[in-house]
Amino acid sequence: MPVFTCDLAKAPKTFEHYWEHTVGSGHATLALRSDWQKQLSRCHKELGFRHVRFHALLCDDVGTLVREEDKLIYSFFNTDQIFDFLLGAGIRPFVELSFMPEALASGSATVFHYRGNITPPRDYNEWTALISKLAAHWVDRYGAPEVRQWFFEIWNEPNLKAFWTGSREDYFKFYKVTARAIKRVDDGLQVGGPATADNQ
């Protein structure tokens, strides 16, 4: 059995409530469900976390980007529904930019039951256009002061083969062009990372 000791002669340290910063919540489309929204609202009220992060905001089932007859069609309706709910509940999004929309994917490798595409973009100009349009839309809809309080993460754990089929150099290029696309919209937007797994 482990031994617990407490030295009352030492100066106390603050116990950081790390869970109050951000919680994770699976797949982005869950945030469109009323039961998820009810549960998240209760968790936020009881635990006090400030941000929520999820995978697959750019997957096809969210409908952010599709290609029809070689024309790219953007729709931010579902992302707006998700973020409107979060902000209305007093929670800010921790924006993980993933996974690759099929319309931009360079390959067919996927992850999870919803088949999130894990390949680099086949055309970086089309990818950065999507990111620029998204960031500009959010700044326009919610205001720059609000969106500057969000966190932008470029992809999920690209050092794991399960999540990224490209090389390390491919990811660094991807990170650079994505971060620049966000910063061109507003230099005050917070881009972090690279976000890796296993402390790599």
Q: What is the pLDDT of residues 143-190, one digit of tens each?
A: 999 999 999 999 999 999 999 999 999 999 999 999 999 999 999 999
Q: What is the pLDDT of residues 29-65, one digit of tens each?
A: 999 999 999 999 999 999 999 999 999 999 999 999 9
Rounded percentage of the chain residues whose pLDDT exceeds 90: 80
Tallying the residues shown for the chain, one arrives at 200
- Report the Cα–Cα distance between both ends of the chain, in Å, rounded: 32
Q: What is the pLDDT of residues 100-126, one digit of tens each?
A: 999 999 999 999 999 999 999 999 999
- CATH top-level class for 21-192? alpha beta
Query: For the whole model, what pTM was predicted?
Result: 0.89
Cα separation, 80 vs 58, in Å, equals 13
Q: What is the DSSP string of 67-89?
A: EETTEEEE--HHHHHHHHHHHHT
Q: What is the DSSP string of 14-81?
A: ----GGGTEEEEEEGGGGGSHHHHHHHHHHHHHH---EEEEE-TTSTTTTSEEEETTEEEE--HHHHH
Q: How confident is the model at residue 193 (pLDDT cuts 50, 70, 90)?
A: confident
Please give the pLDDT value at position 37: 97
Residue 2 pLDDT > 90, yes or no? no
What is the residue extent of each domain of the chain? 21-192
Residue 73 pLDDT > 90, yes or no? yes
